Structure 1
Amino acid sequence: MRFKKLDLNLLVALDHMIELRSVSAAADRMFMSQSAMSNALTRLRDYFDDPLLVQVGRRMEVTPRAEAMRPAIRDILVRIEATIDAHPEFQPDQSTRTFNILLSDYSMRVLMPSVFQRIAAQNATIKINLHAQTDLPQVLLERGEIDLLISPEIFMSDEHPSALLYEDNYVVAAWKGGTYGDVDMDQATFETASHAVMIPPGTVKSVEASLLEKAGIKRNIDVQTFSFSVLPHLITGTDRIATIHGRLARLIAPQAELVTYPMPHILPPLRQMIQWHAYRDNDPGLNWLKSTIEDAAVQLDDPFTKPIN
C-alpha cells in the first residue's frame, strides 16, 4: 500500500531499524534478507532525502530527522496493530495471540501465579511474555512494545487509561532468631537498625524510600539488591531488617523464618495499577486478559492483617 508515493511497509522496516540501530538485526526480526533490508533503507533515504541511519564507529546511529519521526511512526503502527488485533469476539481457548506484560518481580510473585491459574482454568491457548520493569515503562507502552503495564500508581502515564488492581501495605521484616526477632519496633529502633533495601533498575529510589523520606524517617542502609522477592531472604540469619510489601511478607515469611511488625510511621498504601494503551481500549483480547488479571487481584489475601510471628 502506498501513501503519497511511499510504500507504507517501509515504515515498519524503519521503525525496527531505528529501534535496533542495525540493518541486519532489523532484517532478522522481519525475517528478511540483509540485502532486502538495505534496499528498504536506500528507498527510505531517497524518499525522505535524509540518511536516517549513519555508521558511527562500530554501530549505527539515527539522524535527528529519524529520531523526530519515531514517535509518529510508532503511533501509526500502534493504531494499525490495535485495529488488526481487535476482533468482534475473543475466544481464549482458540487464540494463539501473544501478550506482553511489564511488571516487577514483586507483582510476578504475588499476583501472576493466580493469573496463570485462571488462564489455565479457561483452557486458554494464548502466549504471555513477562518483561522486567524498566525506568521508563511508559515509553514501551507508547511504542506498543508491551500490552499491559502493572506498576505502582506513581509510574502511570496520564496519557493512557488505567485501573486499580489492589492495595498493599508496608511492613518491617526481621529474622526470628536475630536481635530484632522480638522487639518493640518503634522509630528509634527502626532508624538504628541496619537495613537491606531494594533499588529498582534505573531509578534512585523505590516507592517506600520516597514515602519514608517524605515522612522524615531515615534508614541505615548497608545492603542493596535489585529484587523485591529475594530481599526478605537476604535478612535471614542476620540482624538486618527490611521494609517489604505486606502481601509478599505473608508469602515468604514462613520460608525465610521472618517476623513482621507494623511500620513505625503509617505510610500510604501502595496502589498497584494496570495500564494499557488508549488505542487498545476496545480490544476484546486485551479486555479479556485485563478482566482475568483483575479477577485474580480481587481474590488475593488481605495483607492488612496482624503481624506475622
Structure 2
Amino acid sequence: MNLDKIDLNLLVYLDILLRERNVTRSASLLGITQPAMSNGLRRLRETFGDPLLVRTSEGMVPTERAQSLQPLLRQILASVEQVIEPTTEFDAKSSDRVFRIMTSDYGEATLLPRLLKRLNREAPDVVLDILTPSDMSFLEVEQGLVDLVINRFDTMPQSFHQKTLWKDSFSCLFAVDNPISHDYCLETYIRANHVWVSKTGMGAGMGITPEDTKRLGWVDEALDSIGYKRHISVFTRHYQSAALLASQRGLIATIPSRAAAIQSESPRLVVKKPPFDIPEFEFKMAWSPLLQHNAAHRWIRQVISDVASVS
C-alpha cells in the first residue's frame, strides 16, 4: 500500500462513521452529502480490505478490525491536530468558551469553589457546564464531547490522558448526640447504622445491596479485610446528602476527608478518624487524546492543577 495513493480525508470520514455508526448523521456532521459519505465508506472498505461497518437489525455495527483501528485512528488525528494547531496561546481574559466538566458532588464541593474564584479573576466570561457521572459515558468523553472528567476511578480507557490532583483519606461524621460519641471504637462503629455513598466513577450505580461487598467500595472492602461488616441503613449517591443524613441521631457517614472537612464547623456534627484503616484514594482528572494539544484545554488543565495543589 502506497501512502501517496491514500486520501487522508478518509481517516476523518472513518473516525466520524465509527463514532456515529450512521452514514446520514456522519455526512451531516462533515457537511457533505449522503452519497459522498457512502462513496467514502466504499473507498475505506477497499483500502482496508474489510467491511468496517456492517448493517444489522440494531443499526450499523463496527467489525473487529474497525474496533481495533478506532483508538489508533484517534491518535493519528490528534497528532495531525497538534501539527496544524495555531501556535497562539489561549486568551482567557477575553474568552467566553464553555468547558464541560464531569465530576461528582465531592468534586463540586472540594474543587469548584476555588476554581471559580480563580476563573472570576483570570477568565470572567469563561463558563463551566458541570455534569454528573451518570450524565456521560467513557465513549462520549473519548470522543471529546466532554472536556474533563474529575473523579475517582476504578478503571479508565488506556487512550485517556490523566493526572492525579490529590490523594484523600476518609473521615466519619455523626451527630453530637449520637450515642457513639461517648464510646467511639470499632465495635460501636460496627453496631451503628450507616449511610453509604456511591464510589462509582462513571455511570449510575444500580442495584447495590448490603450483601454486595465487592461493589460497595473502599470502606466496606476495608472492613471485610479485617472480618467485619457494617449495617447500611441508607444508600445515597451524594456526599453532601450523606453529611446531612449524618446529622440525624444514630447514623454515621464515612466519607472522604476533604468533604467531611466542609462540615467541621457545624455545631451539630462530630468529625472523627475511622476506627480502622481505609486505603487512600486518588482524585484524578482525565481527558480525551483528541483534546490533548488544544490551547484552551491546556490552559484549563493547568488552572485546575494549580488550584488542586493548594491544600
TM-score exceeds 0.5: yes
Secondary structure in structure 2 of the residue aligned to 1:93: helix
Opposite residue 72 of structure 1, the aligned amino acid is: L
Q: Does 1:288 align with 2:299?
A: yes
* One-letter amino acid matched to 1:297: A
Q: Give the 3 Å change call, closer, same or farther, for CA 155–114 of structure 1 in structure 2.
A: farther
Distance 1:238 1:16 in 2: 55
**1:82·1:280 contact (CA, 8 Å) conserved in 2?**
no
Aligned-pair CA distance for 1:76 = 0.9
Deviation at 1:70, TM superposition (A): 0.8
Give the superposition deviation at 1:26: 3.2
CA distance in 1, matches of 2:74, 2:242: 37
2:55 match? 55
1:206 counterpart = 2:205 = no
In the alignment, residue 73 of structure 1 is paired with which amino acid? L
CA offsets, 1:190-233, max 9 Å, x none?
11222221231567243444444445542222432333343323
Q: Contact (CA 8 Å) 2:71, 2:159: kept in 1 or not? A: no
Output the CA distance in 2 between the equivalents of 1:256 and 1:84: 57
CA contact (8 A) 2:173 2:252 kept: yes
Instruction: Assess, with a 3 A threshold, how the Cα gap between structure 1 residues 73 and 281 changes in structure 2: closer, same or farther.
Output: closer
What are the superposed Cα offsets for residues 277-299 of structure 1, whole Å, 9 maximum, x if unpaired? 78977765444323321332244
Offset at 1:71? 1.4
Give the CA RMSD over aligned residues: 3.9
TM value normalised by structure 2: 0.75
Instruction: Name which of 206, 215, 228 aligns with 2:239.
Output: 228
- Hey, what does 2:72 align to over in structure 1? 72
Q: Distance in 1 between matches of 2:27 and 2:263?
A: 45
Instruction: Write out aligned runs for 1:77-226 (5 A).
Output: 77-85=77-85, 87-95=87-95, 99-133=99-133, 147-152=147-152, 163-176=163-176, 178-180=178-180, 182-199=181-198, 200=200, 201=202, 204-226=215-237
- Residue type matched to 1:106 in 2? Y
Cα shift at 1:242: 1.7
SS at 2:166 equivalent: strand
* Residues in 2 aligned to 1:109 and 1:35: alpha-carbon distance in whole angstroms: 50
Contact 1:86 1:285 in 2 (8 A): no
Measure the CA separation in 2 of the matches of 1:41 and 1:8. 13
TM-score (norm 1): 0.75
> 8 Å contact 1:75–1:143 — kept in the other structure?
no
Residue 237 of structure 1: how far off its partner (Å): 3.6
Match of 2:211 in 1: none
Cα deviation for residue 68 of structure 1 reads 1.6
Summarize the Cα distance change of 1:48–1:167 in structure 2 as closer, same or farther, 3 Å threshold.
closer
Partner of 2:275: 264
Deviation at 1:30, TM superposition (A): 4.0
1:218 maps to a residue whose letter is K
The 2-side partners of 1:33 and 1:158 are apart by 34
Distance in 1 between residues matched to 2:76 and 2:302, nearest whole Å: 27
The CA distance in 1 between the partners of 2:251 and 2:291, in whole Å, is 45
**Which residue of 231, 250, 271 corresponds with 2:261?**
250
Residues in 2 aligned to 1:215 and 1:69: alpha-carbon distance in whole angstroms = 45
Q: Which residue of 2 aligns with 1:304?
A: none
Residue 21 of structure 2: aligned partner: 21
Equivalent pair of 1:18/1:70 in contact (CA under 8 Å): yes
C-alpha separation between the residues in 2 aligned to 1:133 and 1:85?
Answer: 30
Amino acid at match of 1:190: Y
Aligned length: 297
Between the aligned partners of 2:309 and 2:260, the Cα distance in structure 1 is: 18
Contact kept, 8 Å, 2:174 with 2:253, in 1: the verdict is: yes
CA distance in 1, matches of 2:182, 2:111: 31
Runs of at least 5 residues in structure 2 that lack an aligned partner in the other structure: 206-214
Moved more, 270-279 or 69-78: 270-279
Return closer, same or farther for 1:159/1:40 CA change in 2, 3 Å cut-off: closer
